[in-house]
Structure 1
C-alpha cells in the first residue's frame, strides 16, 4: 500500500506522508504521536485486504494442464473464461485476475465507481489498472455511490454477456462493496429513478444494509441470484470481498450469484417498519405482487461456487498484529458492529471512560457506567462482545491498550449537511469522551471506511481525542449544531484546517469500517 501513502495529505499535515512513518524498525510507543500510530494501524488493516494478495492467495493455475484450482474445486480452462465484476475494489481485482489467467480469458466487463481509474492513476497505483490491450471493458458509473444511468448500462452489458454463455464456459465474477449501486437493473415497469428514490428513503430512515439489499433484490433483474440465472448453464465462480457484517454471500452486493431466500412478505415487513408501504409507486407494487408467483422460477445454484476472499476480520487481524508489534495490549472487540451511530458513540465513550479508570487504578466506582455499557451491548446486539472479559483483560495493564472493532453503523438523516457515518461517529465519540473525568491515560478514537470514501465526501473518516470539543469551542464551532445538521465533514474541515480528517483517496478495496480506540499513559 506504499503507493496509497502519496495521496494521504489529510491525516497529519505537519510532514509529507512518505517521510511520516519511517521504517518499521523505527516504530515505538515512546516516540510516535498517538495519531500517527492510529493511522499506521488503519493503513495496515487496509493493506491486508488489497486485491493483489487476496487474488494470489485464492487462484492457482496449472499452466501445463489448464486446471484452475479455487479452494478445493478444479476447473478446466481452454480459452473459455469470461469475467464480470462490480464494486469499488473490482478494478484492482480484475487487473490481478487478468494477469494470472489472461491466456484463457475471452472477454470481460466490469462496472466500477465514476472516476476511479483517473484517481488510481494519479495516485501512482498502476498495479490496480488494466493493461492497454486488456480484454476487459471498464465501465464507470454510480457517482457518489448512487446508481445512475451509466451503472444501468454497465449492468445490462454484464447481463448480455452472461446470457450468451454456454455449458462449456466459465464465468468468473468479481464482487466487492459498492456492487449494489454498480449493478442496477430494475425489473420493468420499475424505473431506475423509482428504485433509487425508494433506496434513499430507506437509508434516510435508518434501514440496515441487509434491509436495503433485501428490497434491491426484489426489484432487480440481476441481484438475488439473477446473474447466476442469466449465466446458466455456464459454470460460475464468484470471488467476493465482503463489505457486510457477518459476510453473508446472499447480502453482499445483493447476492447476484446466490439464490434469493427472501419473500415478498419480508419486503413488505421492511417497508412497513420504515413507514413506506403506503407511499410505494404503482410499479413497485406491481413487481412485488407478482414476484412469488413468477412461473419461471430460478434454477438451482449448483453451477455456482461463491468464495469470500477478504473480509473485515482479516483487516482487523492485521491491525491487531501491528498494534502488538508497537507494544499495545490489543483486543478485537467485534467484527459485527451495527446500529445507530448515536448509541454506538455512547458505547465507545463509556468504554474509554471505564477502561481509562481501570487502567489508572483510580479509586472510582464505575458500576453505573458498566451497567449502561452492558445495556448498550445488548441493545446494539453485539453478541460477540463479552464486556467483563474485556475489562478484566485490560485491567492493570502497564503499557498502552488498543481496542479494535469493525462493521457498518447507520445514520438517521435529520439535516442537510455533508458527512458520512465514520465522521459522524467520530464526532459523537469526541462529545462523549469530553465528559469523562480526568485520567492518567490519553485516548484517541478513529473510525474509517476501508474504501476511502465516507459518504459523498473526500474523507474516509476521522480521528478524535477527548479535548476536541474544547478545541472546537475555542474556535467558535458549535458541535451540537453540526451534528443536528448531519454536517460532520464541514465541522472537521473547519477545525484546525481539517487535520482530524482521514483522507486516503479511493483505496481500491472495501471491507466496511475500522474502529480503533487507543489508550496510552500520559
Structure 2
C-alpha cells in the first residue's frame, strides 16, 4: 500500500474520522425513507414523532411526501438538533425542541400537544410516527401521581445507575402516559405506520424511544424489580400502582395495534457496514465485531484493547493492517466522589477511550476513535475522543494520571487537555455508539 495524504498510513486519525462520518452519513433519513412510505390515505395524514433525528426525519418526509397531499403534525427533537432547512423546501410540519437526556417542561408540553393531535382521528386517517433514539426523554408525559420533577429525578438516577437501555426504558414506559404503546392506542381507529431509526442493541422497536407506538412485553413487575435492583425510589402512590399492575402497558396481541406497521429505515449494522466498505476501498481489511455490544464503557474498552494488542503482536485473530469496528450502547456508572472533589465530565464514548488507552499501555501501531453517531457524547459538546500510540506518553508529559480521570468519570477533561476530543456538532441522526480501531 502506498501512503498518500489521506491514507490510513499517513494520517490514521483522519482516516478513522472519515469512517465515522461515513457511518453517520449512511444513517441520514433522506437516503432510505422513500422506500418505506405508505400510500396517501383517503383521509388526513398526521405526523407525530420524537427523537434526536426528529428534525431531519421531518425534513425528509416534507421533501418526499406528495405536495398535493395534505400533511400536518408535530415532532419534538433535542435542543440544537434541527438541521438547516434546504432552500425551497416547503414547511409542512411543526418541529419543537426540548431537553435530553433529562426531560424538561418543553418536552412535557410537546407530549401533551402530540397526544391532543390524536383526538378525532378516523379509520380513513393515517398517522406517520417518526421515532428515533432520544425520544424517551423528549416525549415525557408522567403517569398519574408523578410530577415532572419526580420524573426528572428518577431519570437522572437511572442514567447514573449503570442500567442497560432496555432496563431504563422498561421503567420509563410504565411511568408514562404516552410511551410503551400508549400513543398508538390513542391514535385508534386510524392506521399507524412507524418509521424508526434504531439506536438500541438488537433494533427492538419496543425499546427505541421506549416504544410509544408498539406493543410492550415488559410488565409493571419488571419495572418495579429494576427500580429495586438499582435502589431508585419512587413516590409511594406510584409504587403501589406498579405493585397492583395499575400502570400496565398495551401488550402484544392487543387490538389497538391491528393493521399497524413498523419500518426500520436506518440501523447501527448498516452504518458499520458502510464504514467497513469505506475501509476496504482504502485497502484496509475491515472486521465488524457486533452492533449489539453492551456493558460498562471502560470494561468494553479494555476488551477492545486486548483484541487490538493480539492483532498488533501476534496477527491473531486478524492480520494487520486492519480495522476493527463495533457498535451498540455501553453504560457509565457514576462513581462516588470524595467530598469537594471536582465533578467529572464525559459520556460513554469518552469513557470507552479512557479504558482503551489505559489497557493498550501505549501499544505501537494502534489508533482508535469512539464517538456517538448523534454528535453528542452524553451532555457535552463533543461526539467522542481519539486514542493514539502516544496518548499515555503525552498525558504523562502534562502530569495527567489516567486512573484519576477514570475514578471521577472525567473523560472530557482528559482528552480535552490532549486535544483529542472529537467535536462534530449535532449530526441530526442517531444509530448510537461507533467505535473503530486501526491496527497497522
TM-score tier (shorter): over 0.9
Partner of 1:335, secondary structure, is coil
What is the aligned partner in structure 2 of residue 46 from structure 1?
24
The counterpart of 1:355, out of the listed 300, 308, 311, is 311
Hey, what's the Cα distance between the residues in 2 that align with 1:294 and 1:261? 10
Cα distance in 2 between the residues matched to 1:130 and 1:79: 27
Which of 15, 35, 51 is the equivalent residue of 1:87? 51
Residue number in structure 2 paired with 1:462: 385
| Distance in structure 2 (CA, Å) of the matches to 1:158 and 1:291 | 26
**Structural RMSD (CA):** 2.1
Report the 3-state secondary structure (helix = DSSP H, G, I; strand = E; otherwise coil) of the residue aligned with 2:399: coil
Select which of 322, 327, 352 maps to 1:401: 322
Quick check: 2:132–2:198 contact (8 Å CA) kept in 1?
yes
Q: Which of 337, 346, 358 in structure 2 is aligned with 1:419?
A: 346
Give the match for residue 518 of structure 1. Answer: 438
SS at match of 1:423: helix
Contact in 2 for aligned 1:434/1:467 (Cα 8 Å): no
Secondary structure at the residue paired with 2:377? Answer: coil
- Kindly provide the CA deviation profile for residues 193-250 of structure 1, in whole angstroms up to 9, marking residues without a partner as x: 1122112112211111100000000011111101000100000000000000000011
Corresponding residue number in structure 2 for 1:108: 73
**In structure 2, C-alpha distance between the alignment counterparts of 1:47 and 1:333, rounded to whole Å:** 21
Do 2:52 and 2:133's aligned partners in 1 also have CA atoms closer than 8 Å?
yes
Residues 1:291 and 2:245 aligned together: yes
Tell me by how many angstroms 1:109 deviates. 0.5
The 1:107/1:244 distance shift into structure 2, 3 A limit, reads same
Equivalent residue for 1:313?
269
Tell me the alpha carbon deviations over residues 266-314 of structure 1, each in whole angstroms, 9 at most, x when there is no partner.
11221222123xx321242143134358799964311311111110000
Q: Is the 8 A contact 1:434 1:468 kept in 2?
A: no
**Match status 1:507 vs 2:408:** no
Partner in structure 2 of residue 137 of structure 1:
94
Change (3 A) 1:98 1:79: farther
SS in 1 for 2:415: helix
Residues 97, 130 of structure 1: CA spacing in aligned structure 2 closer, same or farther, 3 A cutoff?
farther
Secondary structure (helix, strand or coil) at the match of 2:429 reads coil
Q: Which of structure 1's runs of 4+ aligned residues deviate more than 6 A?
A: 293-297
Distance 2:34 2:196 in 1: 14
Question: Given that residues 112 and 141 in structure 2 are in contact (C-alpha distance below 8 angstroms), is that contact kept between their aligned partners in structure 1?
Answer: yes
Residue 281 of structure 1 corresponds to 235
How far, CA to CA, are the matches of 1:512 and 1:296 in structure 2? 27
The 1:294–1:215 alpha-carbon spacing in structure 2 relative to 1, beyond 3 Å, is: closer
Structure 2: 5+ residue stretches without partners: 338-342
CA contact (8 A) 1:54 1:310 kept: yes
* Distance in 2 between residues matched to 1:245 and 1:472, nearest whole Å: 33
Identify the match of residue 202 of structure 1 among 158, 176, 197.
158
Distance verdict in 2 for CA 1:293–1:82, change over 3 Å: closer
Paired residues of 1:28 and 1:327 also in contact (CA < 8 A): no
Local SS of the residue matching 1:514: strand
Give the equivalent residue in structure 2 for 1:157: 113
Query: Counterpart in 2 of 1:478?
Result: 401
> Which structure has more helix as a fraction of its residues?
1
Q: Which whole-Å CA distance do the structure 2 matches of 1:402 and 1:294 have between them?
A: 45
| Aligned-residue offset at 1:26 | 7.2
Contact 1:146 1:181 in 2 (8 A): yes
Secondary structure (helix, strand or coil) at the match of 2:32 reads helix
TM-score calculated relative to the size of structure 2? 0.92
| Residues 295/308 of structure 1: CA separation in 2 closer, same or farther (3 Å cut) | closer
Partners of 1:260 and 1:434 in 2: CA distance:
45
Equivalent residue runs for 1:235-274 within 5 Å: 235-274=191-230
Please say if residues 27 and 326 of structure 1, whose CA atoms lie closer than 8 Å, have aligned partners that are also in contact.
no
Query: TM (normalized to structure 1)?
Result: 0.78
Partner Cα distance (2:81, 2:393) in 1: 38
In 2: Cα distance, 1:341 partner to 1:29 partner: 26
For residues 29 and 480 of structure 1, do their structure 2 counterparts lie closer, same or farther at Cα, with a shift above 3 Å needed? closer
Higher-Rg member (1/2): 1
**Given the alignment, which residue of 158, 163, 173 partners 1:217?**
173
